[in-house]
Amino acid sequence: MSTTTDPGPDTETGAKTDQATAKRGALLRWGVLALLIAVILAAVGYVGWQLTRGADESVVSQREQVMAAADKFVGRVNTYGPDDVGSDKKTMPKYRERVGELLTPKFEKSFLGNVAFAEATVVQQGVGRTTSVHSTGVAGLDEDSATVLVVAELAISYPKSEGSEERVEAARQLARTEVELVKQNGKWLVDDWYPAEEAPASESSEGVTP
């Protein structure tokens, strides 16, 4: 009678299998970790790009706002005539109002203190002025102040004769104006202005009505 002996599990083969499984597990974990790192880096890069993009768009938006405010001011302050004279026959209340709403309270006080000269030329001589803005550029900008250069063509006219409705253009000229703006309550307002060639190097001077 012969007896067959079970050799039992192959210890060497089992050890090799366990090592291979462990190696595959380690590779899998490293692969997952690498993938997570790649995802995190991509997310950080995307957020950074979005923040940079947002900052760039904000600067562009602010530049557009200050240029629009300066354009509007130069156009309004240099455009007036007999139609603006009020019922008192001495002042131009509509002109004062449409310019004043673009100014800081401090500069509006200065403007109203000087506007009488322009009103006198209109009342006494029938002078009229119109303005066409040609170009605008931002010379300086931060979060609450800006300096804008505006080039505009000014046209001056007078009545052809006393009491005449027909007008004669007396002069036409290009004017370069430097406009100082500040941001108050979320709105860009004019705080000073002067001919560009007369702009002070440091300390600001009060602008006057043309």
Q: What pLDDT was estimated at residue 43?
A: 53
Grouping H, G, I as helix, E, B as strand and the rest as coil, residue 182 is: strand
Q: What is the pLDDT confidence band of residue 203, given thresholds at 50, 70 and 90?
A: very low
User: Counting Cβ atoms within 10 Å, is residue 53 exposed (0-12), middle (13-18) or buried (19+)?
Assistant: exposed
Is the pLDDT score of 11 beyond 70? no
Cross-strand bridge partners of residue 133: 152
- What is the rounded distance in angstroms from the CA atom of residue 175 to the CA atom of residue 133? 9
> In the block, which residue shows the tokens 């595959």?
24
pLDDT tens column, 72-121: 999 999 999 999 999 999 999 999 999 999 999 999 999 999 999 999 99
Q: Is 70 exceeded by the pLDDT of residue 206?
A: no
Q: Which residue has the higher pLDDT, 14 or 149?
A: 149
pLDDT at residue number 59: 84
Q: What is the CATH number of domain 51-198?
A: 3.10.450.540
Nearest 10 degrees: Cα torsion 82, 84, 89, 92: -130
Confidence of residue 10 (pLDDT cuts 50, 70, 90): low
Whole-model pTM over 0.75: no
Q: Are the C-beta atoms of residues 78 and 128 closer than 8 Å to each other?
A: no
Is the confidence at residue 54, as pLDDT, over 60?
A: no
Domain ranges for the chain, please list them.
51-198
Alpha-carbon distance 72 to 179, whole Å? 11
